[in-house]
A and B are shown apart, each in its own frame.
Chain A
Amino acid sequence: MDAMLRGFRERGLSYLIVGPFAIVLAFPFYVMVITAFKQQRDFYDLSHSPYWFHKGPTLSNARFLFNETQYTTWLRNTVIVGVVVVLITLVLAVPAGYALARLSGKLGQSVGVGIFLTYLVPPTLLFLPLFSVITQLDRQTSRFLHFHVRGSIWSLVLVYPSFTVPFATWLLMGFFKTIPRELEDAALIDGASRLGTLVRIVFPISVPGILTVVIFSFSLVVNEFVYAFTFISASTHRTLSTGVYTDLIRGDLPQWGAIMVASLIPSIPLALLYNTFLDRFIAGFTGGAFR
């Protein structure tokens, strides 16, 4: 009886804490949902409640978004950029993180901190010089690539790792440090090579860490905005963050309904995705390397 009451109290406390915050955090999305499906005349009318539909919901905003704008292209571009940048980040940061955690001692510490310090540089400082770098690169490569890097999403793919890699390296460095040395030492004693140990023993265990980097890097890419609107101007090459902002605001008139639809479509799947991975990622921390 006593335990049951304590159980209720603990759960009640959980609801009491999590509930209100969940409502506050999700509230803007409720507003977005309503506005997304509201008729234009409805939401410009102040006498109508913004919490529900007065004239009935409509799909016209969504139709406008999909038929009259390049929205699906932007979605596709964002996904491509996200996936490729995450891959590049992993390829660069996982080995680097491991090396800094295990193999470099004192020098490793300093290099690690140095890498982290590059994360401190604000994008507003870098974006003009970077634009120049991209242009120079474009000049040199467009001839044999038969293709312009500048103005395409590949310019972003090239530039985004500059802020995901320092962050990821740093995260992984910390993560690898928590894996007990004994595991690798055991393998080395058994005659495995260092490289082999890395591939066969360490990486499988570091799945939670890698998953973390994947999620964080992907979210950084999807949220980025300053480089995206500087480097890309053609509507067909835009990503979500700039396409919605530039093509759905005409002169002095934002297309609010369409903007809300545009915002909801990536948010919900991504949140579902993150929510699913979260359990695995946390389980990795409790199980796995921590017997």
Chain B
Amino acid sequence: MEALAASRPRGRRWTNVLERPSVLASVLISPAVVFILALVGGPLALAIYLSFTNAIGGSLHGKWIGLGNFRHEWTNPAFQDAVWHTFLFTVISQAIVLVVAGLLAHALLKQFPGKWLLRFLILLPWAAPLPLSLMGWTWIFDTTYSIINWTLQHLHLVSTVSPPQWLAQPRLAMGSVIAVHAWRIIPFATVIFLAGLASIPKEVDDAAAIDGATGLRKFWSVSLPLQLPIATVALLFGIVFTATDMAVVYILTNGGPPPSDATEMVTTWAYKTGIESGSLGAGAAISLFLLPVLAVVAIGMLIFARRAEVT
């Protein structure tokens, strides 16, 4: 290949330079890398610096206190609870997403009447701008006007005066944020799974049919292994997204309800500490905690996905 390239007429020199894979690669990658370094790397470095200081209010500098923030938060029960909640929230919501999206993707593979409409309905949670659909949910869960409670009350299943409080009772609150978050991610995951399923070459399908593998056996020994890489990647994105996004919890419960703060996540706790209470350094330290954890999880899952790749 290189010999052929070398034997090309030496007319336009600059394009010849671009023939070398390494040069072309650098040229193609550098805009993205430069951009990311400037807009993520730089601020990240600043945030890391802040986490080692006692910066307060809105100032971007403070006195160096080394690991003080980290030590303080590590032993802070509020932080420990936030970590546990984040773990629960992420694992349970993603498990739900995995199962439901997997089912839906399988069911949506074939044609059937009304599929377009049903698919439209399924895509709605993902298409709706998040802060807006979340406002819809706060209304659905409203302490006085909840449509769920109205329905349950009219079916005489709950009391009129003290119906379940979907965002005010700790367990229910956790369940509600998990459900809403899963609700929002399911369409996205379904699409990814659909793509994965659709990319299974027809030959594999036919081979499986010839071998007599159908239904559950086919699913277990053929579809599942082939889907594993893409399922892993989808799961990985889901996990990262869930752990780092505070919108659902912020708008629905803001980490409450007191006193247990049952839905306080690492992201909302960082926000409360760093922004609303003004302890900027501490807030940065809390946010940073997620980084190594997620990195480890990400790398682990990526290695797993690589191994699971069936060529």
Question: Which A residues contact B (CB, under 8 angstroms)?
Answer: 10-11, 13-15, 17-19, 21-26, 28-29, 31-32, 35, 43-44, 46, 49-51, 78, 91-93, 95-96, 98-100, 102-104, 108, 111, 113, 115-126, 128-130, 132-133, 158-159, 161-162, 165-167, 169, 174, 178, 185, 188-189, 191, 193-195, 212, 216, 219, 222-223, 225-226, 240-242, 244-245, 254, 256, 259-260, 262-263, 266-268, 270-275, 278, 281-282, 285-286, 290
A25 and B122 contact, CB distance less than 8 A:
yes
Interface residues of B in 111-135 (CB under 8 A from A): 112, 114-116, 118-133, 135
A122 and B244 contact, CB distance less than 8 A:
yes
Among B75-83, B192-200, B255-263, the one that faces the other chain is B192-200
Number of interface residues of B (CB under 8 A): 103
Interface residues of A: mostly helix, strand, loop or mixed?
helix
Please tell me which one of the listed residues B29, B136, B195, B302 contacts residue A111 in the complex, with CB atoms under 8 A apart: B29
Please tell me which one of the listed residues A10, A195, A271, A282 contacts residue B120 in the complex, with CB atoms under 8 A apart: A271
List the A residue with the shortest CB-CB distance to B144. A46
Known A99-B26, A103-B22, A223-B129; further 9 A-B contacts with Cβ < 8 A: A44-B145, A46-B150, A98-B28, A103-B28, A108-B25, A122-B243, A266-B132, A267-B124, A267-B133
| Residues in B whose Cβ lies below 8 Å from that of A46 | 144-145, 150
Please tell me which one of the listed residues B24, B47, B121, B288 contacts residue A26 in the complex, with CB atoms under 8 A apart: B121
Say if the beta carbon of B40 comes within 8 Å of chain A.
Answer: yes
Least Cβ–Cβ distance between B274 and chain A, in angstroms: 7
A121 and B190 CA atoms in complex are apart in Å by 25
Among B66-74, B102-110, B165-173, B220-228, the one that faces the other chain is B102-110
A165 and B34 CA atoms in complex are apart in Å by 11
Say if the beta carbon of B100 comes within 8 Å of chain A.
Answer: yes
Known: A103-B21, A119-B240. A18 touches B31 (CB 8 A): no
| Residues in B whose Cβ lies below 8 Å from that of A122 | 243-246, 267, 270, 287, 290
| Residues in A whose Cβ lies below 8 Å from that of B275 | 124, 128
Interface residues of B: mostly helix, strand, loop or mixed?
helix
Least Cβ–Cβ distance between A104 and chain B, in angstroms: 5
A25 and B124 contact, CB distance less than 8 A:
yes
| Residues in B whose Cβ lies below 8 Å from that of A123 | 244-245
Contact count A vs B, C-beta below 8 Å: 301
B119 and A99 contact, CB distance less than 8 A:
no
List the B residue with the shortest CB-CB distance to A195. B18
| Residues in B whose Cβ lies below 8 Å from that of A10 | 110
| Residues in B whose Cβ lies below 8 Å from that of A108 | 25
Which of B128, B140, B287 has the largest number of chain A CB atoms within 10 A?
B128
Least Cβ–Cβ distance between B2 and chain A, in angstroms: 10
List the B residue with the shortest CB-CB distance to A225. B131
Question: Which B residues contact A (CB, under 8 angstroms)?
Answer: 1, 4-5, 8, 15, 18-19, 21-22, 24-29, 31-33, 35-36, 39-44, 46-47, 50, 58, 60, 100, 103-104, 106-108, 110, 112, 114-116, 118-133, 135-137, 139-140, 144-145, 147, 150, 183, 186-188, 191, 194-195, 198-199, 201-202, 233, 237, 240, 243-247, 267, 270-271, 274-275, 280, 283-284, 287-288, 290-291, 294-295, 298-299, 302
B112 and A129 contact, CB distance less than 8 A:
no
List the B residue with the shortest CB-CB distance to A275. B120
A92 and B199 contact, CB distance less than 8 A:
no
| Residues in A whose Cβ lies below 8 Å from that of B243 | 122
| Residues in A whose Cβ lies below 8 Å from that of B1 | 185, 188-189
B136 and A263 contact, CB distance less than 8 A:
yes
Least Cβ–Cβ distance between A108 and chain B, in angstroms: 7
| Residues in B whose Cβ lies below 8 Å from that of A49 | 150
Question: Please, could you name 6 A-B residue pairs with CB atoms under 8 Å apart, sorted by A?
Answer: A18-B104, A21-B100, A26-B124, A122-B290, A126-B43, A245-B135
Known: A188-B4, A275-B120, A278-B119. A125 touches B21 (CB 8 A): no
Please tell me which one of the listed residues B115, B130, B137, B295 contacts residue A117 in the complex, with CB atoms under 8 A apart: B295
A240 and B104 contact, CB distance less than 8 A:
no
Known: A19-B118, A99-B29, A225-B247. A240 touches B199 (CB 8 A): no
Please tell me which one of the listed residues A28, A43, A125 contacts residue B44 in the complex, with CB atoms under 8 A apart: A125
| Residues in B whose Cβ lies below 8 Å from that of A95 | 27-29, 31-32
A179 and B194 CA atoms in complex are apart in Å by 19
| Residues in A whose Cβ lies below 8 Å from that of B106 | 17
B47 and A129 contact, CB distance less than 8 A:
yes
A267 and B25 contact, CB distance less than 8 A:
no
